[in-house]
Structure formats: structure tokens, C-alpha cells
């Protein structure tokens, strides 16, 4: 009997909106005859997540009352917990040509793919600054999530969707892209009842590996679940990350305790609120826990290093079944000769390395994906304690292939100086 955590929502079962078979064939023909609206990469990813059941129990893009309730109170009008708005927008001119109750076709503007048929039940404008202030805790236009919201078109469309495509994800990532039902089937086949999800958007370095192994000790297995959608400049593309993870799993883990998967969303970089969204859709994927470490889903110095852990303590009882595995900052402790955390290491001095990455003095070598990317992008030595040689080799090959280098800036959450 399936002992996995139940999907999110009152019905406690997956609600995929993706059409198949004859329904898909008929809807695809119909979509060609309808008014067409281009949607962004973020909106496309949201549509796919609704299609595959990752955003259960949503039935479409949010109406105004749900948008307002989610922004201010983190739940929809019917009381269903939801931490981040899921909306689609269009220009005022296009909105004026659409009548409420009308069906329209949503087109992925980057790839020209017919994504969904939407029945528009409402047209409304939003207070973008309010959304940014509540969701991102800032209105700074330099924040990539704020910039994403501010770039939205003038009018939001609310209504139900029928999803027609998963875009390029099944073909470009055939070995890693998964629907929630597929992940659940793998977990059930392995006899797992407790599963810890490890969210990744960076290559897997030794801190990630340490967190995964700690999670395996207290659950049946770990789901290394990485983002396949759009990132900010300087982040490592998904296909390179997959190779890094494969190298780690095959050489340093018991493979039967690890499942690797991918999902089609763009990063919003919403820190604490996005951590809640990550837990919510991991519940739909069958995960009982989400590993929440330092600066989860953060960017720059907009959030405290453990704000994404604290927000789970503010939730009302029963809001989510998937619970956080709260992990402290991890690092390599030269004096202990092993990986450790702020909770376990008695040493506080930062490690000092020479220009070749060799140990000189101190104890703690703080690890982060940002620091790893910066070292590699600048061609600097990577200490062997930072990442496994197989991973470093793959990443060096990637950076050598780049025609244009992207500057990687360190921030407080990556160096240990946040809040100082």
C-alpha cells in the first residue's frame, strides 16, 4: 500500500490538467482558431506544473481575490494554503479584445509552442509593488524576482486552463524530467514512505552531498530535484548539473537510496516564500520532507541566511504535510578532518588557504555554490575539500567552453558575512 505523503489540497489527490489522447488532439485543433496570447518563460513553467499536477490543486491562473489573498495571507479564498501568486498577464490592448468567458490560446513566447487553452473568467490589474513587498520583502528593481514582476504586462487574466504541452522539457531532459505521478511510482516501487527532497539550482558540491547523506540517515531516501527552467546569468545550466550529480551519485552514494529528477519552473528567488512553494509542490511529488539549508532560494543579501527555515514555524497547523529538514551552515573543518556544521563543530576560525587552494591555518572552509562558480569562472584552484574531482573536472570543461565569461559576485550569504 502506498505510504507516501498525500498531495496538497482538500481532495488529497493529484489534479493534472494536461490533456491526452483524443482530448488533446481535438483541443490542439481548436487552439489554432482562438485568440492567441504570448506568455513568458515563468508563466509557461507555471502552466506545465499545473498540467502535470505539480501545482495541485490549482485549476488555472489565479483570479483577483485569490491573488490578493495569496499575496497578503498566503492562502487562497477557499482557505487552501498557497505562498506565491500564480498569474498570467497580457497587454491592455490585448485584454480589451478579450471577453470574460472567452477561450484563448496561450503561446510560449520563447519557443512558439502552443501551451494551453484558457477560459478567461476575469481581467484585473494588480499592485505590483504590493506583490513585491509581500512576496520578495523588497521592491528593489535589482532583485531578479522583483524585476520579473515589474516586467509583467498591464492586465492579469484569471481563469481555468487545459494544458496541451510540456514544451521542450521531455525531449531535452528525457532522463531527468519527471511528472509527480512518475516520481511517486518510483518511490513506491522502492518501498519508500519518507522521502527528503534536495532542491538544487547549483552544481552539487560537498555541502550538498553532506546534506543529502544526513537526510538519507533519517528518511528512506533522497530525491535530488533540480530546476530545469530559466536561471539568472552566471548560473550553471541543467545539463551540466545533471552530469555533476550523476558523477557524485555513482561514486559516493548508494544509488538505490537516491532518485534524481527535474521540474520545469523558473527561479523566482523569493527566499522564504519560495521555500514554502518548494515544499508544497514536493508534497505533490510524494516527498515528506524538504531539506532547507542556508539561504534557500535566496539571492544577494535580501534575506537572512535562515529566514527560509523560520517561515515554516509561522504556518498554521495543517498548512503543509511536507516538513522542513532544517540544516545549519555546513563546511569542511580542517581540524576535525571532516564535514561539519555550526551545530557540531567546536571551531569558529575561518580557514585560510594559499593562492593554490592549499590549507594554511584556521578551521572552517565555508562552501557555497556561488563561491564554487566564482572560483571556476576565474580559473582559480578549487580546494579538494570543496568539491569532488569528478565534479570539478566537468565544471572546468563547461567554463572552458564559454565564449563570454559572466562575472560572479559574492554576497554575504555565500561568505558567512550576512547580517554582519
Q: What is the DSSP secondary-structure string of 32-90? A: TTSEEEEE-HHHHHHHHHHHHTTTTT--EE--HHHHHHHHHHSB-TTS-B--S---EEE
With cut-offs at 50, 70 and 90, classify the pLDDT of residue 2.
Answer: confident
**What does DSSP assign to residue 75?**
B
**What is the average per-residue pLDDT within 276-296?**
96
pLDDT value, residue 264: 96
Same domain (yes/no): 124, 181: no
Same-domain pairing of 135 and 83: yes
- The predicted pLDDT at position 18 comes to 98
Cα–Cα nearest to 343, from 308, 385, 293:
293
Question: What does the pLDDT read at residue 370?
Answer: 76
Check residue 408 and give its pLDDT.
62
Residue 365 lies in a domain: no
Cα(179)–Cα(166) distance, integer angstroms: 10
pLDDT confidence of residue 415: 47
* 142 vs 304: CA distance, rounded Å: 17
Residues 132 and 99 in one domain: yes
Q: Which of 63, 156, 184, 202 is catalytic?
A: 202
Residue-level pLDDT at 230: 74
Range of the domain at 285: 176-263+269-327
Q: What is the pLDDT of residue 400?
A: 86
Which of 203-212, 251-260, 346-355, 404-413 comes out lowest in average pLDDT?
Answer: 404-413
Question: Could you tell me what percent of the chain has a pLDDT over 70?
Answer: 95
Q: Of 145, 167, 189, at which residue does a domain stop? A: 167
| Cβ-contact 221, 183 below 8 angstroms | no
Give catalytic status of residue 38 as yes or no. Answer: no
Q: Is the peptide bond before 57 cis (omega within 30 degrees of 0)?
A: yes
> Does residue 403 fall inside a structural domain?
no
What CATH number is given to the structural domain containing 86?
3.10.400.10
Domain-embedded: residue 80: yes
State whether 193 and 90 are in the same domain: no
Same domain, 35 and 153: yes
3 found inside a domain: no
335 is catalytic: no
Q: How many domains does the chain have?
A: 2
- Of 103, 137, 167, the residue that ends a domain is 167
203's grid cell: 552544481
Same domain for 131 and 54: yes
d(CA 36, CA 53): 24
Q: Report the alpha-carbon distance of residue 381 to residue 392 in Å, rounded.
A: 10
Identify the active-site residue in 42, 63, 184, 201.
Answer: 201
Dihedral Cα 261, 266, 270, 276, nearest 10 deg: -40
Stated as kind and residue range, the H or E segment containing 393 is helix 389-401
- Give the whole-angstrom CA distance, residue 163 versus residue 300: 35
Residue 44 lies in a domain: yes
User: Are 48 and 146 members of one domain?
Assistant: yes
Whether 336 is in a domain gets the answer no
Same domain, 188 and 311: yes
Residue 92: cis peptide before it, omega within 30 degrees of 0: no
Kindly report the pTM of this predicted structure: 0.92
Q: What is the CATH number of the domain that holds 285?
A: 3.40.50.620
- pLDDT at 162 > cutoff 80: yes
Residue 357 lies in a domain: no
- Asked if 188 and 257 sit in the same domain, the reply is yes
Residues 140 and 184 placed together within one structural domain of the fold = no
Same domain, 157 and 213: no
For residues 316 and 198, state if they share a domain.
yes
Q: What is the pLDDT of residue 413?
A: 47
105-115 in b/e form (b: 16+ CB < 10 A) is bbbbeeeeebb
User: Does 351 fall in a domain?
Assistant: no
Q: Which of 140, 167, 194 is the last residue of a domain?
A: 167
Amino acid at each position: 500500500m502506498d505510504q507516501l505523503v498525500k498531495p496538497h489540497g482538500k481532495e488529497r489527490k493529484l489534479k493534472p490538467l494536461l490533456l491526452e489522447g483524443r482530448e488533446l488532439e481535438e483541443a490542439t485543433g481548436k487552439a489554432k482558431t482562438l485568440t492567441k496570447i504570448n506568455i513568458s518563460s515563468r508563466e509557461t513553467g507555471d502552466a506545465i506544473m499545473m498540467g502535470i499536477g505539480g501545482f495541485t490543486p490549482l485549476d488555472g491562473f489565479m483570479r483577483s481575490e485569490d491573488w490578493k489573498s495569496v499575496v497578503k495571507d498566503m492562502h487562497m479564498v477557499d482557505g487552501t494554503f498557497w505562498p506565491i501568486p500564480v498569474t498570467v498577464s497580457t497587454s491592455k490592448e490585448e485584454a480589451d479584445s478579450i471577453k470574460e468567458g472567452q477561450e484563448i490560446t496561450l503561446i510560449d513566447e520563447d519557443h512558439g509552442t502552443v501551451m494551453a487553452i484558457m477560459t478567461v473568467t476575469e481581467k484585473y490589474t494588480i499592485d505590483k509593488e504590493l506583490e513585491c513587498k509581500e512576496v520578495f520583502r523588497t521592491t528593489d528593481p535589482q532583485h531578479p524576482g522583483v524585476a520579473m514582476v515589474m516586467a509583467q504586462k498591464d492586465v492579469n487574466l484569471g481563469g481555468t486552463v487545459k494544458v496541451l504541452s510540456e514544451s521542450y522539457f521531455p525531449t531535452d531532459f528525457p532522463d531527468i524530467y519527471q511528472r509527480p505521478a512518475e516520481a511517486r511510482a518510483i518511490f513506491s516501487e522502492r518501498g519508500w514512505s519518507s522521502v527528503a527532497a534536495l532542491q538544487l539550482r547549483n552544481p552539487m558540491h560537498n555541502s550538498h552531498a553532506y546534506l543529502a547523506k544526513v537526510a538519507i540517515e533519517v528518511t528512506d531516501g533522497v530525491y535530488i530535484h533540480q530546476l530545469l527552467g530559466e536561471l539568472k546569468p552566471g548560473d550553471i545550466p541543467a545539463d551540466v548539473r545533471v552530469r555533476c550529480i550523476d558523477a557524485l551519485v555513482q561514486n559516493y552514494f548508494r544509488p538505490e537510496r537516491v532518485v534524481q529528477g527535474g521540474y520545469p519552473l523558473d527561479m523566482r528567488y523569493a527566499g522564504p516564500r519560495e521555500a514554502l512553494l518548494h515544499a508544497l509542490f514536493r508534497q505533490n511529488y510524494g516527498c515528506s520532507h524538504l531539506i532547507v539549508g542556508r539561504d534557500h532560494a535566496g539571492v544577494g543579501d535580501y534575506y537572512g541566511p535562515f529566514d527560509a527555515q523560520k517561515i515554516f514555524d509561522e504556518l498554521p497547523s495543517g498548512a503543509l504535510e511536507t516538513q522542513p529538514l532544517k540544516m545549519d551552515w555546513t563546511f569542511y573543518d580542517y581540524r576535525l578532518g571532516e564535514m561539519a556544521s555550526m551545530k557540531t563543530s567546536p571551531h569558529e576560525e575561518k580557514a585560510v588557504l594559499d593562492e593554490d587552494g592549499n590549507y594554511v591555518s584556521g578551521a572552517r572552509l565555508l562552501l557555497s555554490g556561488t563561491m564554487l562558480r566564482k572560483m571556476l569562472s576565474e580559473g582559480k584552484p578549487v580546494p579538494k575539500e570543496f568539491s569532488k574531482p569528478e565534479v570539478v573536472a566537468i565544471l572546468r570543461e563547461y567554463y572552458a567552453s564559454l565564449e563570454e565569461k559572466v562575472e560572479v559576485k559574492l554576497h554575504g550569504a555565500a561568505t558567512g558575512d550576512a547580517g554582519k
